[in-house]
Amino acid sequence: MDIAYLLAGWGWTYPEIANGCQTLERLGFDICYFGDDLFPHPQLDATVYDTWTILPAVAALTQRMKLGSLVSPAGRRHPGLFAKITTGVDQISGGRLVVGMGAGNAEEQQHSLHQPFLPAAERVAMLVEELTILESMWTENRTTFAGEHHSVTDAICSPKGAGGRRPEVLVALKNARLLAPVAGRLADRANLLGNDDDAVRRLADAIRNEAQKAGRSGDEIVMGRLFQVLFTETKVARDDVEGVLTRRAAEIGVEPEELIEYHTHVASYVGPPEGAARAILERTRDIGIEEVVLNIDTVGMLEHRRTIEGLDILAEYVLPELRHPSS
């Protein structure tokens, strides 16, 4: 199983971001992902570095760990330019890049650039066009493509990816109807969002079915799941989770509804470190999850020190059991 970490880094200096990545590699994480935000949530006032500026920098400071975005929204960058950006980063990293993409859900960020926030089906169509252009430019000498949202003519991408291979593609999704066909046809990895285990299982099955329709094996796609983790000193009963999150929201100065909603958007673990790995394994093994993406609760708590302390806890209590389950 791949064990990854989603590193927000909001409000951090570049040296702190670099230290965070090097710490992840030293502790044995397999992948470090960055979100791709222009600015943080509206209630937070913090600096946010451009992900595709940070990735080549930290690629030069690490040797083993894969690096990528989770996720870059369709339409943020023209795919002809994005192809060049991504292969450049892949070369710098020595072939360790994962290009994570999604249909986009940050309406206020699109509007800040005077870019339209299209209906979901149109955003998915834009994502398909972008991935199609990227695949061609990564692998062909020249690319000509005319789409509804993006077009290129005799576009050239050189250098190609490291070792003559293209970067890995990850598609993050929660909507099976719109995005399972995209992931099934075009993704090497899929990140399955949501806190409902049955819904995530159906989503994984839908992706595998779409892969088979496209002439692929569903086993070719690495299924991943994002876990938001909030450590407590004692065990938390299921009925008490909302109360814990409400108290946590008061501590960090955010609305309780926001924190509760975030913990329902992705898989959530709220409890002591000693129980985290077993709880995560119970919600991944039967679904066929091969990549766990962890994120320590840092909503509203932007300090570098807090995250590093959380990473040490993960390395001590969670990573060993995920690597070598006791049962």
Q: Give the pLDDT of residue 321.
A: 96
Is residue 327 over pLDDT 70?
no
Whether residue 300 has pLDDT greater than 60: no
Q: pLDDT band at 298, cuts 50/70/90?
A: low
In this model, does residue 301 exceed pLDDT 60? no
Query: Is beta strand 267-271 parallel, antiparallel or unpaired with respect to 72-73?
Result: unpaired
**Cα distance between residue 110 and residue 173, in whole Å:** 19
Strands 291-296 and 267-271: unpaired
Q: Is the pLDDT of residue 53 over 90?
A: yes
Per-residue pLDDT reduced to its tens digit, 96-137: 999 999 999 888 898 898 988 899 999 999 999 999 999 999
Tell me the pLDDT tens digit for each residue of 128-186: 999 999 999 999 999 999 999 999 999 999 999 999 999 999 999 998 999 999 999 99
Query: Three-state SS across the chain?
Result: CEEEEEECCCCCCHHHHHHHHHHHHHHCCCEEEECCCCCCCCCCCCCCCCHHHHHHHHHCCCCCCEEEECCEECCCCCHHHHHHHHHHHHHHHCCCEEEEEECCCCHHHHHHCCCCCCCHHHHHHHHHHHHHHHHHHHHCCCEEEECCCCEEEEECCCCCCHHHCCCEEEEEECCHHHHHHHHHHHCCEEEECCCCHHHHHHHHHHHHHHHHHCCCCHHHCEEEEEEEEEECCCCCCHHHHHHHHHHHHHHHCCCHHHHHHHHHHCEEEEECHHHHHHHHHHCCHHHCCCEEEEEECCCCCCCHHHHHHHHHHHHHHHHHHHHCCCC
Query: Cα(43)–Cα(254) distance, rounded to whole angstroms?
Result: 8
Q: How high is the mean pLDDT of the chain?
A: 93
The answer, yes or no, to whether the previous bond of 159 is cis (omega within 30 of 0) is yes
**285 token code pair:** 């093994």
The pLDDT assigned to 105 comes to: 83
Which tokens is 319 given? 């990573």
Domains and CATH numbers, the chain: 2-323 (3.20.20.30)
How sure is the predictor about 42, in pLDDT bands with cuts at 50, 70 and 90? low
pLDDT(299) > 60: no
Higher pLDDT, 106 or 280: 280
The whole-angstrom separation of Cα 70 and Cα 73 is: 9
Give mean pLDDT, residues 292-315: 85
Per-residue pLDDT at 201: 96
Which residue from 69, 73, 65 is spatially nearest to 95, judged by alpha carbons? 65
Phi, psi values for residue 141, rounded to 5°? -70, -40
User: Quick check: bond before 71 cis, omega within 30?
Assistant: yes
Range of lowest pLDDT (19-28, 216-225, 258-267): 258-267
Query: What is the predicted pLDDT for the residue at 262?
Result: 80
